[in-house]
Copies of this chain bind each other. A is one copy, B any other.
């Protein structure tokens, strides 16, 4: 039976999840995960405590509990369950208080809040990525910080969105389609912004798989077509000196982080 895991927070619980997930991913085990966000009252904390203790009674095994709770009274209740608890904030905040010589001023909802100057520009970046997806328009490229290029379904859209959502970067993307391939060249609108171009590529077998999920048995999804498009596009990247990466074995997090790392672009923190 998979070990039970709880992620608890008086906020969104996203930090508790990221924290717990990073730790658990080091273990070759299956876990059954439950997230309980917005535990903002003592009543709700007692409910959570009863639920966790009940899980222990039912399964006979102490569940794991990852929490990131700002309110000290609520934290006390959650810490008093039968679970094996991992206290994310307290473990690091206390030593940091000592080092900085300043008391923490815990406020719920500060981790993911709108109260920082960069929040609005992040939302702008998300709308920008939407409005400039898939070459819909070329008229905002001046404003783009990066322009991802590549064949259909090589990962441009999710990567642009992740760059905007996580890092606040204005990313446009432009597809090279089958009709371009006979005489593949950079459109003049892209040439003007060549220093912003970043190429994506992918293994033909993987591309076939992805395209087949979309249009099964089509020419578009055939291995022959995938191979041809990728060969043409990669040749162009090399000829035009466009930096590029292969997305086959990488998640959007990894692709986005690699693009920033290769281009030297700054992350804007959230």
A175 at the interface (CB under 8 A from B): no
**Closest approach, in angstroms, between the C-beta of A136 and any C-beta of chain B?**
11
A64 contact set on B, CB distance < 8 A = 96, 99
Residue of B nearest to A15 (CB): B22
A127 contact set on B, CB distance < 8 A = 157-158
A38 contact set on B, CB distance < 8 A = 257-258, 261
Chain A 252-270: CB-based contact to B (< 8 A → 1; otherwise 0):
1110111011000001011
Chain A 2-15: CB-based contact to B (< 8 A → 1; otherwise 0):
01000000011111
A82 at the interface (CB under 8 A from B): no
In contact, A161 and B126 (Cβ under 8 angstroms)? yes
Please pick, from B12, B105, B109, B257, the residue contacting A13 in the complex, using a CB distance under 8 A. Answer: B257
A104 contact set on B, CB distance < 8 A = 26-27
A18 at the interface (CB under 8 A from B): yes
**How many copies of this kind of chain does the complex include?**
2
A91 at the interface (CB under 8 A from B): yes
A229 at the interface (CB under 8 A from B): no
In contact, A254 and B23 (Cβ under 8 angstroms)? no
Chain A 130-163: CB-based contact to B (< 8 A → 1; otherwise 0):
1001000000000000000000000001100110
Residue of B nearest to A21 (CB): B269
A28 at the interface (CB under 8 A from B): yes
Please pick, from B25, B35, B92, B119, the residue contacting A86 in the complex, using a CB distance under 8 A. Answer: B92
A100–B23 alpha-carbon span in the complex (Å)? 13
In contact, B14 and A253 (Cβ under 8 angstroms)? yes
A105 contact set on B, CB distance < 8 A = 26-28
A51 at the interface (CB under 8 A from B): no
In the A-B complex, the 10 residue pairs with the closest CB atoms:
A112-B253, A12-B257, A26-B104, A15-B22, A25-B110, A23-B92, A18-B18, A22-B111, A126-B158, A114-B251
